Amino acid sequence: MTRTLRELRRYPSALAGLAIIGLLVAISVYAVVAIPYGEAIRLWNGGEGVWQRTPRNAWPAWLTVFPGVHLSRTVVVSSTGTPRREVDLGSGVRQITMALPFDFPYQSFPQELAVFWDTSYTDKAPQVTLRWRRPDGTETALAEIAVKPSDSYRISSDQPLQQAVGGRPEVALFADPRHPDQPLRGRYELLIRGFLFEPASHLDAQLVVYGQGYGLAGTDGQRRDLMIALLWGTPIALAFGLLAAVGSTVSTLVIAAIGVWYGGWVDGAIQRITEVNLILPSLPILIMVSTLYSRSIWVILSLVIVLGVFGGIKGNRALFLQIKEAPYIEAARAYGAGSLRVVLHYMLPRVVPVLVPSFVTLIPSFVFLEATLAVLGLGDPSVPTWGKVLEDAYHSGALFVGQYYWVVEPAVLLVLSGLGFTMLGFALDRIVNPRLREM
Amino acid sequence: MPNDLLLSIRDLHTWFELRRWGFVRVGFVHAVDGVDFDLHRGEAVAIVGESGCGKSTLAKTILGLHLPRQGEIIFDGKPVRGREDLRWYRARVGYVQQDPYGAVPPFMRVQRILEEPLIINGIGPKDERVRRIRTALEDVKLTPVDDFLPRFPHMLSGGQQQRLVIARAMILQPQLIVADEPVSMLDASVRVEILQLLRGLQDRYGLSVIYITHDLSTVRYFCERVCVMYGGLIIERASMADLLRTPRHPYTQALLAAIPDPDPENAHRLRDVPSGEPPSLLHPPAACRFHPRCPSFMPGICDIHVPKDFEPSPGQHVLCWLYDDTGLVAPSLTRRA
Amino acid sequence: MTPTPSETFVIENLRLYFRTHQGPVQAVDGVSLTLGRGRTIVVVGESGCGKTSLGRAILRLLPRNVQTYSGSVWLNGVDVMALPEEQFRQQVRWTQLAWVPQGAMNALNPVIGIGDQIAEALLAHQKADNPLSARRAVEEGVGQVGVPLDFLDRYPFELSGGMRQRLVLAMALITHPDVIVLDEPTSALDVLTQANIMNVLKTIKRSTDTRFILITHDIAASSELADDAAVMYAGQFVEVSSADQFYREPLHPYSQALMASVPALRGDKPLAAIPGQPPSLINPPTGCRFADRCPARFSKCSEEPPLFSVEGRLVKCWLYEERAHA
């Protein structure tokens, strides 16, 4: 074992592979520790409530390090805590005037504008007038609306406003009059005048100026931070690949050993099952099961193992048959070793080192299988995996609208994990299989 | 003395079934086709023959690795028949194989290799096992013992590996050692060592040895009696001296004539050897199995009647119609070695 | 080195070192020999002495990790070692220099009929104009080794070991080479088959001028063909002499020990083992390489002896220094 590790050092590809795997493991550990599973699921499936403040389809914000790339960030201004003027107009009616100021220093327009209300009342909803003040002093009237609790006013989707300002609000409200294709940088203010009709009602507002860039990985069409799926996809991919590889390798090994050792009809039966299994199309079966029965990731994992077990038997059987004829096995029988002892202590230790390389290269194939199923729409919808991200991207036509990051990020991770394991696996193969070895 | 007989084999037949496509029976390979054999305590007997004559199968049947189709094995007065018998029998018979490196698990250390037979046969406790292991290694002169215990087989030379195999065969303190071509894969200079070692162990512990080989030259240094095997049968049995002096069977004569000694005169003459191939064990020739190649073939006799076991001189048995119990009866056309 | 008459096959100072992770393996370390027309030399040695590498070195069949490959091989007046690889392949290998490797009988192509395989050697070296003349040449060659003609259409697995070895010999002979190197041609065969093959080789030797280099560990079998004998130890020749002299009176202590360890069927000969093991070819010891196993070792042996010429024989041993100068 130690000899193998020492030999690995001679192969740069193995070291690169190990480094990549180490990186993936580190990411997995971080993901599991920083965002516990329950939390991750909650976030991923959270919906509007969780992701309200994040922009939709935002690019990764760090891309601005590249020259010529301008991505505006999200600015959130809240009225709680800001000074307001309250004027009592009599008969329970109060007028509240608030200003929500913010600085806009970016060179590209925001993506979306929205105002979220926090209010309470019993019968009559407050009435609000909104005005927009730009850094150059110009003001625009936005709207006059009634406000409900947990309601939001989507400035960007306001059709009359669009017609009034002659274009999309998030552009028109920010455009520099001298250079209309660039936003005017400086201090903006949202002026709110609200009329409260009940003494107990209150009014607070939050303005969200959605940026074009967000976070390390950007967001998807449902405003979800893709980092969650990328981070959590790692341990899930590794775990799926590892469990599937271990499950199928161990099962294959045991069944092949039993078949070879006992021979006769046992071996014959196993061979016939193997041959039938070779003809069975596993992907269509997986599709069938997940469409008609269940898409739970555990069901899929078990099915993948079951379908994979009999596939590898022929190769292992060949190995075992070779080993069975080894003189030392004969010698063991001559000094009285029983069948079980021979299989466990004499045959398996001979086979296991030879299987390690193929085991290692098996892991990414299962990772890819899971991703394939997800892309086909058969993945577990509640679990954030790389394949799921790809599926969402595909369904949203991400490539057609230029949202490359949505596709590239999970793809890169898939390729990286495949690369890491296969490089390690090939190097191990050269160590274990003497004929491939270099002198 | 009746107690002197350690191993007695009567009419042993070991056949292998040949099947096509897994279940169509085509026939039987008559690897051992009627062998009678006696071995006394402390005696070393060689079984000599070429490849395909069945000698390895005979060895493995004696070891209990193959089940005979017919015939009896009696060891130390007790019959060896089924599974239960094999349990005590296997502990009394040691096996030394041809390939020293293949005979030991390459992933086990020397200590474990030697401990396995002890564990399997319930020898204990640990101290007792360690003691036996050390004794075995000293017996085969793999010393200092502590130097060798932690090694893996690939860290040993060919000769050392074979010593390890012998140590393992000795570790259960057997009464019989079956050595199947124990030196043919070793270098010439190492062969001598191993043969001398086996001889020494035989003398010290009063072991009986069955030595299977195709190299008659080595037999001289080791065994008192020789059995020559051909086509699944033992066709001649004699003491080594008698065999060399008066080989009876034409095959034996051919064998002796074919073996070279290091002699420069060899390059100047052709050897007189029978042509043809060893017989198929699936469809052996009728009656005498050597008749298709025999220079002394007598048509009408050798191909019709199965030769009987004759004793032309005391202690020398031969399966050949050229002889009867008084000596040579038919003119032999073969030359002596 | 002055070129010798073109009749003689000469190897001069052949060296073949392999590069490995543990260091260079000095498999063939300065081997020289001379072989006249129609003569056979046997190279005798145990495992690990480098004799198979010697065969490879002569045939220039080198693996990838060669570190040093030097020396001269004079054949028909030409130093074939100096030829470029492609020219060597076309003109020398298998046409002038042929090889029967160890275990060749198990290395036959299982999916091609045996007649076609033998013909392949002819066709590859353009020694035959068309398949028909190739076939005729094959039949002739196969008759030379004593195989019936109807075997030509069979596949290797249908034939016995002895038959296959004869056919491999036919393959080597088919282009009528000047030199054939045989590596353990009979080790895996039974006694009777071995004698048969040796008979075939003896017949060919008598009827052609072919030179044979027979590499083997079996001293007894080597005496069947030898006109000259060379003993190889740790990559070097330690003794070279004519067969008559060698088998009757070996000079080098290793040759003597080797002879003493070979059991004889006839006569009463005590056997003696050689203590110790041959040295590793990686970093071989300085001085005489047999010194630490030699019963006649003395102080001078810490220096490597040259090959002394003693009465027409070559011995690499300080014990013969005086006899050489006498």
**DSSP codes of every residue in A96-144:** EEEEEEEEE--SS--SEEEEEEEEE-SSS--EEEEEEE-TTS-EEEEEE
Q: Please tell me the distance from the alpha carbon of residue C192 to that of residue C196, in angstroms, as a whole number.
A: 6
- The answer to whether A431 and A7 have CB atoms below 8 angstroms apart is yes
Residues with Cβ within 8 Å of residue A54, at least 6 apart in sequence: A74, A210, A214, A219, A223, A224, A225
A314-331 mean pLDDT = 84
Residues 6+ apart with CB under 8 A from A386: A229, A230, A233, A237, A371, A374, A410, A413, A414
- Taking phi over 0 as left and psi of -120 to 50 as alpha, with beta for the rest, B179 belongs to beta
Q: Please write the tens of the pLDDT for every residue from A227-262.
A: 888 989 899 889 988 988 888 888 888 888 888 877
- Count interface pairs A-C at CB distance under 8 A: 9
Q: Using alpha carbons only, what angle is made at residue B115 by residues A255 and B139, rounded to the nearest 5 degrees?
A: 140
> DSSP of B277-334, one letter per residue?
-PPPSSSPPSSSTTGGG-TT--TTTTTTSPPPEEEEETTEEEE-TTEETTEE-S---S
Q: Do C191 and B258 touch (CB under 8 A)?
A: yes
How many percent of chain B have pLDDT more than 90?
A: 40
Burial class of residue A21, CB neighbours in 10 A (0-12, 13-18, 19+)? buried
pLDDT of residue C92: 84
Query: Per-residue confidence at B21, pLDDT binned at 50, 70, 90?
Result: low
Q: What is the pLDDT of residues A113-153, one digit of tens each?
A: 888 888 888 888 888 898 889 888 888 888 888 888 878 88
pLDDT digits (tens, 9 = 90+) for B264-276: 888 888 888 887 7
Asked if pLDDT for residue A1 goes beyond 70, the answer is no
CB A405 within 8 A of CB A413: no
Q: What is the pLDDT of residue C6?
A: 64
Mean pLDDT of A414-435: 84
- The DSSP call for residue A175 is B
pLDDT tier at A169 (50, 70, 90 boundaries)?
A: confident
So where are chain C's domains?
Answer: 9-96+177-311+321-325, 110-176
Reading the block at residue A262, the tokens are 């006992």
Alpha-helix residue ranges (DSSP H) falling in A211-225:
none
Q: Is the pLDDT of residue A105 over 50?
A: yes
Q: Which CATH class is domain A68-210?
A: mainly beta
Q: In what order do the strands lie in the sheet with C313-315?
A: C97-100, C179-183, C211-216, C40-44, C228-233, C236-242, C313-315, C308-310
Nearest by CB: C160 against B195, B260, B277: B277
Q: Tell me what pLDDT residue C212 has.
A: 93
Q: Are A70 and A227 in contact (CB under 8 A)?
A: no
pLDDT at B318: 92
CA atoms of A275 and A265, how far apart (whole Å): 15
- pLDDT reading at B333 higher than 60: no
pLDDT attached to residue A361: 86
Q: What value does the mean pLDDT of chain B take?
A: 87
Residue by residue, DSSP assigns C262-306 as S--SSS-----PPPS-PPPSBSPPSS-TTGGG-TT--GGGGS---
pLDDT at position B28 over 90? no
Residue C220 reports pLDDT greater than 70: yes
Chains with ≥3 CB–CB distances under 8 Å to B = A, C
Model confidence pLDDT, tens digit, residues B143-166:
888 989 999 898 888 889 999 999
In chain A, % of residues over pLDDT 90: 7
Record the tokens describing residue A185, joined without a space: 């940088």
Report the 10 Å Cβ neighbour count for C313: 23
Residues of chain C contacting A10 with CB distance shorter than 8 Å:
21
Q: Please tell me the predicted confidence (pLDDT) of residue A91.
A: 81
User: What CA–CA distance (Å, rounded) separates C46 from B258?
Assistant: 23
Asked whether residue A264 carries a pLDDT value surpassing 80, the answer given is no
List the single residue in B97, B117, B172 with the smallest CB-CB distance to A327. B97
Chain C residue numbers with beta carbons less than 8 Å from the beta carbon of B244 are 265-266
CA Rg value for chain C: 20
The pLDDT assigned to A439 comes to 46
Q: Which of C24, C54, C51 is nearest to A439 (CA)?
A: C24
Q: What is the pLDDT of residue B1?
A: 40
Extents of the domains making up chain A:
2-42+224-436, 68-210
Q: What is the ipTM of this complex?
A: 0.85
Q: Is the pTM of this model over 0.80?
A: no
Average pLDDT over residues B53-72: 90
- Which is it for the CA torsion A370, A376, A382, A388, positive or negative? positive
Q: Are strands C179-183 and C97-100 parallel, antiparallel or unpaired?
A: parallel
C-alpha span between A397 and C78 (Å, rounded): 74
pLDDT at A167 over 90: no
Q: Percentage of chain B surpassing pLDDT 70? A: 96
Q: What is the pLDDT of residue C241?
A: 93
Q: Is pLDDT of C116 > 70?
A: yes
**Residue B5: which of B105, B65, B73, B59 has the closest Cα?**
B73
Q: Is the pLDDT of residue B187 over 90?
A: no
CATH class of C9-96+177-311+321-325: alpha beta
Of B33-47, C126-140, C301-315, the range with the lowest mean pLDDT is C126-140
More confident residue, B46 or C175: B46
Instruction: Write out chain A residues lying below 8 Å of C63, CB-based.
Output: 439
* 8 Å CB contact between C222 and C230: no
Across the range C68-95, mean pLDDT stands at: 87
Question: What SS3 state is found at B223?
Answer: coil
Per-residue pLDDT band for A414 (boundaries 50, 70, 90) equals very high
Q: Which chains touch C (3 or more CB pairs under 8 A)?
A: A, B
Provide the pLDDT for residue B336: 40
- Note the pLDDT tens digit of each residue in B164-179: 999 999 999 999 999 9
CB contact under 8 Å between A331 and B65, yes or no, is: no
pLDDT digits (tens, 9 = 90+) for B200-250: 999 999 999 999 998 888 888 888 899 999 989 999 999 998 998 899 999
Give the type of residue at A124: K
Q: Please give the structure tokens belonging to residue B150.
A: 């932690």
Q: Which of C47, C191, C262 sits opposite B50 (nearest CB)?
A: C191
Which of B21, B88, B107 is the best residue to mutate to test the A interface, defined by the most A CB atoms within 10 Å of its own CB? Answer: B107
Rounded to a whole number, what is the distance in Å from the CA of B256 to chain C's nearest CA?
Answer: 8
Residues of B in contact with A333 (CB under 8 A): 65
Query: What distance in Å separates the CA atoms of residue C271 and residue B222, rounded to the nearest whole number?
Result: 11
Residues whose CB falls within 8 Å of the CB of residue B140, separated by 6 or more in sequence, listed in order: B163, B164, B166, B167, B170, B197, B201
Task: State the pLDDT confidence band at C250, using cuts at 50, 70 and 90.
Answer: very high
Closest CA of chain A from C282, distance in Å: 14
Q: Which of A90, A192, A81, A183 is nearest to A131 (CA)?
A: A192
pLDDT at B335: 44
Q: Which pLDDT score is estimated for C1? A: 44
What pLDDT score does B227 carry? 94
pLDDT bucket at B2, cuts 50 / 70 / 90: very low
Chain A neighbors of C19, CB-CB under 8 A: 439
- The better pLDDT of the pair C4, A4 is held by A4
Helix (H, G, I), strand (E, B) or coil at A73: coil
Does the pLDDT value for residue B107 go beyond 90?
no
The larger pLDDT score, comparing residue A1 to residue A415, is at: A415
Per DSSP, helices labelled H in C34-87 are: 51-59, 85-87
The average pLDDT across C4-20 equals 83
pLDDT for A73 beyond 50: yes
Q: Please give the backbone phi and psi of residue A61, each rounded to the nearest 5 degrees, phi first.
A: -70, -25
Rounded CA-CA distance B142/B114 in Å is 13
Tell me the one-letter amino acid at B104: V
**Stretch (H or E) spanning A11:** none
Taking CB atoms and an 8 Å cut-off, how many pairs form between chains B and C?
A: 123
Contact C226 B267 (CB under 8 A): yes
Q: Number of helices (H) and strands (E) in chain A: give both, helices first.
A: 16, 9
Chain C contacts to A (CB-CB under 8 A): 18-21, 63-65
Task: Annotate B19-74 with DSSP letters as a single string.
Answer: EETTTEEEEEEEEEEEEEEEEETT-EEEEE--TTSSHHHHHHHHTTSS--SEEEEE
CATH architecture classification, A2-42+224-436: Orthogonal Bundle (1.10)
Q: How far apart are CA C123 and CA C32, in angstroms?
A: 33
Sheet holding A84-90, edge to edge: A84-90, A93-104, A186-196, A127-133, A139-146
Residue in chain C nearest A10 by alpha carbon? C21
Q: Mean per-residue pLDDT for A386-409?
A: 88
